[in-house]
């Protein structure tokens, strides 16, 4: 019988979204060796290479890119058929808030995918700081929120945990190829209410690294522009790396922890539509 295996297509999507076989494994609840075997079988089925493997991960070949687009559409149709036959069509209005640190280069594509998969869901999307999102969620002003948490010694402490979307490193970033005067360090940051700015300043002060705030941007996009313009150094999450921005080569900067992006935990007695929408967001944005 011709055609592709759904599980293998699902794994292909996970691999290319995660950027490596190892990172994809927990997303599809498989071992790394099982993911590798699924990709081998899928390439065998396609009769051509789908992935380019390297030391830093994997990327798609041109054939892999074409199959990835088909895979997303096929999996979306499968999901829609499953919900339709079970009588749980996703339909309604959803108030979604996302921290502006969350995958700034990819979030528009992921929202477009959600819209294509669930055309009967009308989403009201707002980009906010994590603290503002959490406060609005507590007040019942939004339905679903995606927040960033800085890990203390690799762990979440003292707060409820919603579904994990992504974990990545914090990095000191500067313009690619630019030398940075480190005394005092020209720090680029978001406003003082930003938890990541507060963390970075506390860390620099604790390690006795002299710094001055050289530029304050209103959002991550503005911060990326300031970095690429060579105005100084910023502390940002790894997915904020973009053309013209690289790791800062400044001796003496303290090491940084990881951050996690999570959906805020469900409320007691949550509406069934919100519950289903939350599941859809987890699948689309991992």
Tens place of pLDDT per residue across the chain (286 aa): 578 999 999 999 989 988 889 888 887 888 889 999 999 999 999 999 999 988 878 999 999 999 998 998 888 778 777 766 665 567 889 999 999 999 998 888 888 878 877 888 899 999 999 999 999 999 999 999 999 999 876 555 555 578 888 889 999 999 987 777 768 999 999 999 999 999 999 999 999 999 999 999 999 999 999 999 999 999 999 999 989 999 998 888 999 999 999 999 998 888 888 988 888 888 778 7
Which structural domains are found in the chain, ordered by start?
6-85 (1.10.10.10), 92-167+261-285 (3.40.190.10), 168-257 (3.40.190.10)
3-state DSSP of 229-270: CCCCEEEEEHHHCCCCEEECCCCCCCCCCEEEEEECCCCCCC
pLDDT score recorded for residue 215? 95
> How far apart, in whole angstroms, are the C-alpha atoms of residue 81 and residue 117?
11
Q: Can you give the pTM of this predicted structure?
A: 0.71
Q: How many CB atoms lie within 10 A of CB 151?
A: 14
Give buried/exposed letters for 25-44 (b at 16+ CB in 10 A, else e).
bebbebeeeebbebbeebbe
pLDDT of residue 90: 75
CA distance 143 to 129: 16
């Amino acid at each position: 019988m011709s055609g592709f295996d759904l599980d293998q297509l699902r794994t292909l999507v996970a691999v290319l979204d995660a950027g490596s076989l190892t990172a994809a494994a927990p997303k599809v609840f498989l071992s790394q060796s099982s993911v590798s075997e699924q990709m081998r079988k899928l390439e065998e089925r396609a009769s051509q290479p789908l992935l380019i493997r390297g030391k830093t991960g994997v990327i798609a070949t041109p054939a892999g890119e074409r199959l990835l687009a088909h895979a997303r559409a096929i999996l979306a149709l499968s999901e829609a058929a499953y919900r339709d036959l079970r009588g749980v069509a996703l339909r309604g209005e959803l108030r979604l808030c996302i921290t502006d640190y969350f995958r700034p280069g990819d979030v528009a594509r992921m929202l477009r995918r959600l819209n294509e998969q669930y055309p009967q869901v009308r989403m009201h999307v707002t980009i906010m700081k994590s603290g503002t999102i959490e406060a609005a969620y507590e007040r019942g002003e939004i339905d679903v929120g995606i927040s960033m948490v800085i890990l203390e010694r690799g762990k979440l402490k003292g707060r409820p945990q919603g579904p994990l979307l992504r974990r990545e490193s914090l990095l000191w970033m500067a313009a690619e190829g630019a030398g940075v005067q480190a005394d005092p360090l020209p720090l680029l940051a978001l406003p003082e209410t930003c938890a990541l700015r507060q963390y970075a300043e506390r860390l620099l002060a604790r390690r006795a690294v002299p710094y001055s705030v050289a530029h304050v941007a209103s959002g991550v996009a503005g911060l990326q522009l300031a970095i690429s313009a060579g105005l100084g150094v910023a502390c940002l999450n790894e997915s904020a790396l973009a053309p013209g921005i690289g790791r800062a080569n400044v001796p003496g900067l303290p090491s940084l922890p990881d951050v996690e992006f999570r959906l805020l935990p469900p409320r007691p007695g949550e509406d069934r539509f919100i519950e289903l929408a939350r599941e859809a967001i987890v699948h689309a944005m991992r």
